[in-house]
Amino acid sequence: MVETISTGIVGTTADDNIKVTARAISEIHKIKEQNSIPADYGLRVGVKGGGCSGLSYTLGFDAEARDNDKILPLGDVNIYVDKKSLFYLMGVELDFTDGLNGRGFTFNNPNATKTCGCGSSFGV
């Protein structure tokens, strides 16, 4: 069983949450350490147009939140999501896999009506 930690702002519904597995959290910490990313940087999770299914996921580290970001606290790491992306990411589970089919972060998105073969893009 995969341990999942839900993030979110107090008062939001469960559907507004982004869930992050323990494996993903562990990998976030490893990446920050290996690349000398300051401890106070947050993980930016987003969506942009493109990819074979219409929308693509984005991940990166940012020093601080932007004006229209929702900040989702996850222990010692904050998740930054712009409000436009949050619409597409409600209920998403961010996981990390290291298996025969590849190594990397995966998004399990209940809102996606179609996905590409590699899992990096989706449509709604």
Task: Please name the residues in contact with 84: beta carbons below 8 A apart, sequence gap of 6 or more.
Answer: 47
Confidence check: pLDDT of 11 > 90: no
Q: Taking Cα atoms as reference points, which of 10, 3, 41, 5 lies closest to residue 20?
A: 5
Query: How many percent of the chain have pLDDT more than 70?
Result: 73
What's the pTM? Answer: 0.74
Q: What pLDDT, on a 0 to 100 scale, did the predictor assign at position 113?
A: 62
Which domains are seen in the chain, by residue range?
A: 4-123 (2.60.300.12)
The DSSP line for 2-38 is: --EEE---TT--GGG--EEEHHHHHHHHHHHHHTT--
pLDDT of residue 26: 92
* Position 37 confidence tier, pLDDT thresholds 50, 70, 90: very high
* 3-12, 17-26, 80-89: least confidently modelled range: 3-12
